[in-house]
């Protein structure tokens, strides 16, 4: 059986560490290199927490792509670096699986265009947890019947982007089946700026950042005499790995750009 050769960008992060273990535990996957902002020239096994994982660490991403001869890049860094990594990987015929959030609409369009040009697969997943993907799909279903909706996303206090990619994707999916609508009292006034959260086609999005949280989101719907709450909680980053595995397997079989794990789940 020929293994899928994988590079991880961001191996020392919390998600990156889980991804390293995932690849180690899946027989058909092989970790061939990692990309880190420091520690270039070392082996991953030289770093704390990676015993016996004897793959090279690169700081120069292009050199990594030239030498590692990988099939897939798992990108788990920051939006700015992640965009560069995804574009460069495609130019080297390496298929990106991206868990980094915070990409702009222009970024996504640029990656989609590059995928078409290169005839390669690329998967951008705002959330790799299968339960979170179902939460988004259920919310989209509910939005056909409930026009008033607010999204509250809650993450750890080290998260850089707000709102989260999951919240943005959820709002985008809801907007596909819901007409834009201004919610609340027509004359409401924020006595403290930002109290009503961000607004996307009338949908209010609220971001919470606290230590102790991992990744949580609830979508609240309201109608006359009733409310509906759709909620998902990730208590450990291991919850994302089933989706990473599916994404790596799928990206090897497709030649197109995919935004959102819900588009590859049957």
For residues 162 and 209, the answer to whether their CB atoms sit within 8 Å is: yes
The verdict on whether 39 is a catalytic residue reads: no
Nearest to 138 by CA among 262, 237, 18, 234: 262
CA–CA dist 150, 143 (Å, integer): 11
CB atoms near residue 109 (< 10 Å): 12
**Active-site pick, 85, 155, 206, 245:** 155
CA–CA dist 245, 176 (Å, integer): 28
The verdict on whether 216 is a catalytic residue reads: no
**Active-site pick, 3, 39, 137, 159:** 159
CA angle 101, 105, 107 (to 5 degrees): 70
Q: Facing residues of 150 across strands?
A: 204, 220
Nearest to 247 by CA among 232, 265, 224, 234: 265
Query: Which are the catalytic amino acids?
Result: 155, 159
């Amino acid at each position: 059986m020929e293994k899928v050769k994988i590079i991880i960008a961001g191996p020392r992060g919390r998600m990156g560490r889980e991804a390293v273990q995932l690849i180690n535990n899946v027989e058909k996957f092989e970790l061939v290199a990692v990309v880190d902002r420091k520690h270039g020239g070392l082996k991953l096994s030289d770093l704390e927490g990676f015993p016996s994982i004897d793959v090279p660490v690169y700081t120069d991403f292009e050199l990594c792509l030239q030498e590692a001869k990988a099939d897939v890049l798992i990108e788990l860094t920051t939006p700015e670096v992640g965009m560069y990594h995804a574009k460069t990987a495609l130019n080297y015929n390496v298929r990106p699986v991206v868990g980094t959030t915070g990409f702009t609409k222009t970024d996504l369009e640029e990656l989609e265009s590059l995928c078409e040009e290169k005839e390669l697969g690329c998967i951008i997943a705002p959330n790799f947890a299968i339960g979170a993907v179902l939460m988004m799909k259920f919310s989209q279903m509910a939005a056909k019947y409930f026009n008033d909706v607010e999204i509250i996303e809650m993450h750890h206090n080290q998260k850089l982007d707000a709102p989260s990619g999951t919240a943005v994707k959820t709002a985008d999916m809801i907007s596909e089946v819901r007409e834009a609508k201004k919610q609340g009292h027509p004359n409401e006034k924020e006595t403290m700026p930002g109290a009503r959260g961000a607004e996307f086609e009338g949908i209010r999005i609220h971001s919470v950042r606290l230590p102790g949280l991992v990744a949580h989101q609830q979508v609240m719907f309201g109608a006359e005499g009733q409310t509906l709450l759709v909620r998902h909680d990730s208590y450990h980053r291991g919850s994302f790995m089933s989706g990473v595995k599916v994404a790596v397997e799928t990206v090897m079989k497709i030649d197109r750009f995919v935004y959102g794990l819900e588009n590859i789940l049957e």
